[in-house]
Amino acid sequence: MNEPSYFFSSCSLRTEKLVAFKRFLEKHPERHGIDVLFQVAVTNRRAVESYRDYQDCCSALVDKINSSFSDPKRPEWKPVVLQTDGLPRKYVVAHYLAMDVGVVTPIKDGMNLVAKEMLICNPSASLILSSGAGTEQQFGSSGFYTDSRRCYHRVENINDTEEFADLFYAAAIEDKETVEANGKLLHEFLLANDIEKWSGSFLDPSWTHEVIQSVELKTLKDFYTLMFQTRTARRHIVDRVVKGFPI
């Protein structure tokens, strides 16, 4: 008997994700009636036409998916639940604890702490991460996605509907022992690399006024050279921090 999978996503309402989930259901009718994608997407900036049009497009796509798939044995089943009012924090955590698979698939994002929150709350869950998520870059650079060990499901290109759909299926049928083993590794990594260690990796306590060298500026060229070096260093720091890498 197929075990149900509860996919939960609380960020990045995107048509690519919805189209991929629709394709997943088309390819695997045996998953009808048991799998659900719960998407939290607060509708904001409705006064901006482009935002309003995109949100309406996503909402219409959800309605189309729900009207296209049904299960006679479970007439109440809806494959996609779209929550547009947001959720209080305690209910978000409850969904983290209940989910089987967390879905975090932005085109490009910073650290994206949602993925980390999911695993901290529920190390027994699986993850689908896009390569554009900062957390995925950190996990990947730390050896959690290699040819020999893949501790999560990575979407290389969210515009590749077939790849994305196949990853929904792979996550849905992944055996519990593998999911728990991978989740345990990622959970331990997150606990060992918390915010204090992360910030301490580039906020070196040895950087005091005693070790900072003063620079004498004799010409305007010296000033511009120093400003250029400072700008470059700051951009490097920001780039690393946004990607979630230590400096």
Pick the CATH number of 6-192 from 3.40.50.2000, 3.20.20.70, 3.40.50.300, 3.30.413.10: 3.40.50.2000
Q: Which residues of 190-201 are buried (b: 16+ CB within 10 A; e: fewer)?
A: beebeeeebeee
Which residue has better confidence, 77 or 2? 77
Q: Where in the chain are the domains?
A: 6-192, 195-243
Beta strands in the chain (DSSP E): 6-9, 36-40, 80-83, 101-104, 126-130, 153-155
Distance CA 129, CA 152 (A): 7
| pLDDT, tens only, 175-213 | 999 999 999 999 999 999 877 766 665 555 555 555 556
Res. 98: pLDDT tops 70:
yes
Q: Of 188, 178, 204, 176, whose CA–CA distance to 139 is shortest?
A: 188
For the chain, the average pLDDT equals 88
User: What's the pLDDT score for residue 204?
Assistant: 57
User: pTM score, two decimals?
Assistant: 0.79
User: What's the pLDDT score for residue 21?
Assistant: 98
Res. 61: pLDDT tops 90:
yes
Res. 237: pLDDT tops 80:
no
Res. 109: pLDDT tops 80:
no
Which residue has better confidence, 27 or 214? 27
User: What's the pLDDT score for residue 234?
Assistant: 79
